[in-house]
Amino acid sequence: MGKKYNALLSISTLPLELLLKVFRCDVTPRMDFGDPSRHLRRISQVCHNWRKAALGTPYLWSQLIECQSIPPKWFRVVLRRARSSPLRVTVLPPQDMASEPTVTNVQLALRELGNIGELEILGSVNKWITRAMIKHLQQQPAPSLKRLTFTVDGDHPYDLDSSHIEVQLLPANIFCGVAGPLQHLTLSSCLIDLRSPLYHHLTSLSMTDIPKAAAPSVSHFLDALRNMPDLTSLSLTSVLLASAPERHVEDVHLPRLSNLKINEHTAQCSQLLPRLRYPAIRRFDLHLQAFDRTRQTNLSDLIKQPLSGVEPFPFCTMLRDFYIGFSTRPQELRLDVDSDFFSVSWAVNPSVSSYTEALNILSSFVDDVAPRGSHCEMLTLDFCSDMSNLPECIIYNDFARPFSPVTILDVKGTNLRMDRFFDYLSTPNSGSMRPNSATSDSTSDSDACDSFCTAPTPTMQLPNLQHLFLDSKNASPSLIRFLEHRKECGYAIEYVHFTCLSDQSMLDTVKALCSSVTVDAPSSPVREEPREYFDYEGEEDIDSELDYLVE
């Protein structure tokens, strides 16, 4: 490539290693959509030298085993080309009993169970093939299996009950107890018996929405964790049942655990988290779904060492009616798996509790997290339409103390909710909204709301606020009054950002009340460029024997 005139190397003499990287990048990301056989043709209907290289590279073919879309004739060719390279197999349920191609492909793929490195199964409690697959998986070992994903769906919510326990609770002897050793396990709406030896070498475990008929208790799950010393990532969402309170459970040490994500009810979290020890933790994400009426949950009992030395929470998000969360990264950066991340959030369902009870719980949560939340720099408020009937005091509870350091406010939602928010902050008596200690438990919800809303303090709400981000297309009179109020009191906003604002007069008014205003430019329509590669639609009918692959 360094020849005169910077001429490109002849395509027929492109280095094999570079050529295979091009093939791999071109084919693998495209297998998630469209007709897979078309992508197989893309790496075979090329010049003679390139085709020879593609056909002689088992890895390229081992990544393309998608049982539902590939016609059986293609499927056989792919299996043959993959040879000894560990297969990556995806099994989706057939659309109906007559889906012969899918059934045939599943049978062909599972015959190669000893050579499968990654297996993803999406089953259904109402499909006969799911039960047939589970029976087959109990009869053969999978010595090459490193990654397993198993998801069970039902056509209706009542499908996922105890009547389908043979699909939702997979036996401990699946794969004859031999797999890999298996390193990555993802289970959704089903559970492999925790006594299975498949858990012993896991480095990553993710469980989601386990039906109650199959869900383990906290104590049984802790017992299973003792057999997973290599675990580095653990994610649980609606998995556990509360254990009997009289049972004593020893602490579980997970020396390599660096990523912990728990989304469970408070009762289960109160039993699980105090028993875990994780000295190598880097990413901690805790969401408490509800509260335990029988005990007072102390957040410090759930967040153990070494989290006490972690940086304070500079970001806070309040969503819907009774949700609040603190984190060390804003929402858009949470997916950056290479960076440290710590988050604690709590949601209370007002349908199962009174406003008074819910407010006390949220107030207690804010108090508990205040040592970290008092350093909050950015507050995100997302006002959804389903909040329209809730009083402001419910949503803006406890602003004054933990949120006083906030310098950046990001407000999203309907114009009505945003206007009511700015009207509230512009009220001279707006201040801390903590419940009156004299309020008795028998106080009605409406009276409780009044006690939160009518406790004015002379302090300015969010006194350090400097930057305002608005997901709005207009500057309402309520916003103008808020900016005027801040400027008159000596707390002028420095910077305001709109996602879109077309009213020039309003824009000029806002500019007069703060130092800087920016507006996102409208996005231009994306032009679809013509395809630069051959369109192989319908070519399989012309070349039905696939001679160029079978050669």
The model scores a pTM over 0.85: no
What's the distance, Cα to Cα, between the start and end of the chain in Å?
A: 33
Distance from C-alpha of 291 to C-alpha of 289, rounded to nearest angstrom: 7
- For the chain, domains (ranges, CATH) are 311-436+451-524 (3.80.10)
Q: How far is CA 27 from CA 36, 40, 54, 88, 540, in A?
A: 9, 8, 11, 14, 18
Structure-model confidence comparison of residues 363 and 32, the more confident one: 363
Q: 221-256: per-residue pLDDT in tens? A: 999 999 999 999 999 999 999 887 766 778 999 999
Q: Give me the pLDDT at residue 73, please.
A: 76
Who contacts 123 (Cβ-Cβ below 8 Å, separation ≥6)?
A: 91, 93, 129, 130, 133, 134, 150, 151, 152, 153, 167, 190
Query: Is the pLDDT at 1 greater than 70, yes or no?
Result: no
Higher pLDDT, 64 or 484: 484
Q: What is the per-residue pLDDT across 128-178, written as a single tens digit (0 to 9) for each?
A: 778 888 888 888 899 989 999 999 886 544 445 556 788 889 999 999 888
Q: How far apart are CA 443 and CA 50, in angstroms?
A: 79
Helix axes 477-488, 415-426, angle to 10 degrees: 20
pLDDT of 396 strictly over 60: no
Higher pLDDT, 48 or 90: 90
Comparing C-alpha atoms, which of 291, 284, 287 is closest to residue 305? 284
Quick one: pLDDT at residue 333?
58
Which pLDDT score, from 0 to 100, does residue 349 have? 63
How many Å is the Cα radius of gyration of the chain?
Answer: 29
| Of residues 465, 478, 461, 463, the one with CA closest to residue 514 | 465
10 Å CB burial of residue 373 (0-12, 13-18, 19+) is buried
Closest C-alpha to 243, from 211, 217, 279, 224: 217
pLDDT, the chain, mean: 73
Number of alpha carbons in the 13 Å side-chain half-sphere of residue 382: 10
CA 121 to chain centre: 20
Where is average pLDDT lowest: 32-36, 271-275, 283-287, 330-334? 32-36
Write the secondary structure of 338-392 as one string of H (helix), E (strand) and C (coil).
CCCEEEEEEECCHHHCCHHHHHHHHHHHHHHHHHHHCCCCEEEEEECHHHCCCCH
